[in-house]
């Protein structure tokens, strides 16, 4: 198991938590986005899924389970990234917002990948 005493110490969880707040702000700030309940709720759920799966996997207290949940978290990061493209395409977010959010979600995804590689090397 990783050398963390709590999931709150995991940087990818911290960054995913920050992303959750930004996603909520962005989906509330644009009138069209806030009223598109389907996309708004889906991108929020996918974002929350990232931090939740990191936490849940850690709490399972086995490396194999943690790895499994990290893969789910990474998949949710891909889902958020895909939904950001749509939000940008239909002008719910500006090009600048898209670029900033894409950088943040890519950072989270890379952090999860790094943690996965480390954990897999310990098996």
Q: Which domains does the chain have, with CATH numbers?
A: 10-121 (1.20.1440.60)
pLDDT above 60 for 1 = no
What's the CA gap between 6 and 23, in Å, rounded?
A: 24
Rg (CA), the chain: 15
Q: How confident is the model at residue 2 (pLDDT cuts 50, 70, 90)?
A: low
Residue 37 has a CB neighbour count (10 Å cut-off) of 8
pLDDT at position 3, please?
Answer: 82
Share of the chain above pLDDT 90, in %: 93
Residue 120 has a CB neighbour count (10 Å cut-off) of 12
User: pLDDT digit string (tens) for 15-71?
Assistant: 999 999 999 999 999 899 999 999 999 999 999 999 999 999 999 989 999 999 999
pLDDT above 80 for 119 = yes
């Amino acid at each position: 198991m990783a050398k963390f005493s709590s999931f709150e110490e995991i940087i990818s969880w911290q960054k995913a938590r920050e992303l959750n707040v930004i996603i909520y702000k962005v989906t509330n700030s644009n009138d069209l986005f806030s009223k598109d309940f389907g996309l708004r709720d889906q991108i929020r759920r996918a974002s929350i899924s990232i931090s939740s799966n990191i936490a849940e996997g850690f709490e399972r207290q086995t490396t194999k389970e943690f790895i499994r949940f990290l893969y789910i978290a990474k998949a949710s990061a891909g889902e958020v990234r895909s939904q950001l493209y749509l939000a940008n395409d239909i002008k719910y977010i500006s090009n600048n917002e898209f670029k900033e959010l894409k950088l943040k979600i890519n950072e989270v995804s890379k952090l999860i990948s790094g943690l996965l590689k480390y954990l897999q090397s310990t098996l």
